[in-house]
Amino acid sequence: MGVAVFGSFMYDLMIEAPRRPDLGETLRGTAFRRSVGGKGFNQAVGAARAGASTAMIGMLGDDPFGQEFRNALESEGIDATHVWECSEQQSGTGVGMPVIFPDGNNSIIIVPRANMEIGPEHADQSKEAIQDADVLLMQLEVPVEAVMRAAEIAHEANTKVVLNPAPFRELPPRIWSHIDLFTPNEGELRAFASSLGMGADGSIHDLAAAFAKRMDVELVVTLGDQGAFHVTPDGHTDRVEGHQVHAVDTVGAGDTFCGALCAQLAEGVAMHEALAFANAAAAISVTRAGSGTSAPHKKEVQAALEAGGAGKIEVS
């Protein structure tokens, strides 16, 4: 198995609007659409389309949204053996409500619902899938206790543990000894640094270097259209520049990046090449509407990189 994703499902009800409404204001939107999404699902799709054999571990509701997710997992070739469901009366499938603005940026409210029902016992029940994976990819839209147990299982099996810390939540100190790669965006890194009593201002590169050294963990920090960079505890850094593309919808771009990056690492690709691939995959994804379903396939990314050359990318 290449990548196991332990994480969330959020059924996205997406609205396009000219701006954020003011408090108490009713604002007319310009478009509405629905899409399967959520950080866990999006990242699993990103990994699978990037060529990795992928397994998803998570919790759905017994409702129409849950069935749409199961159909999507099957169509993407993602192993859903360890996707459980709880009754709709107990807790339905998680939902997300992104509002997308004309420049492609977004604001999102999530209601986790069934995602909060997954616990350490489910990590134990999916132990074989986690141990067989080359990379375990996790986020924080499910209970931290479950994330912690999945990390322990992976660490014991020498499975590479990647944590995408979104949304920001405080973590138990013992988790850091089980994480191999931490993938925050700039805002998340500053939030974690602040929660640990570190100065969160100043250069993001200096902050990342200090954080990596203090927590003894490798970091990949994503910077949106400014690219991404990698830093190790001993201070080694590696950066890829962003790509200038016409952004239609940025929902799921970070998830596409994480899924593609983990797929590359599972193949044994060196970090710089893996970063470049993931960066291009995310750039392509923002040129399309949707969340996880906007992730490109491996051949698309390779063709775009070959056509665009160093520092550029051409997206058709």
Using DSSP's 3-state secondary structure scheme, residue 40 falls into: helix
Residues whose CB is less than 8 angstroms from the CB of residue 299 and which lie 6 or more positions away in sequence, other chains included: none
**Of 12, 180, 249, 255, which residue is the catalytic one?**
255
Distance CA 179, CA 260 (A): 18
Distance CA 281, CA 59 (A): 27
Determine the length of the chain. Answer: 316
- Candidates 272, 314, 260, 282; CA nearest to 135 is 260
Give yes or no: 255 in active site.
yes
The neighbouring-strand residues paired with 112 are: none
| DSSP state at residue 251 | T
Residues whose CB is less than 8 angstroms from the CB of residue 139 and which lie 6 or more positions away in sequence, other chains included: 7, 8, 39, 40, 43, 163, 164, 165, 166
Q: Which two tokens stand for residue 51?
A: 């060529």
> Strand 10-16 to strand 31-37: parallel, antiparallel, or no bridges (unpaired)?
antiparallel
Which residues are tagged catalytic? 255
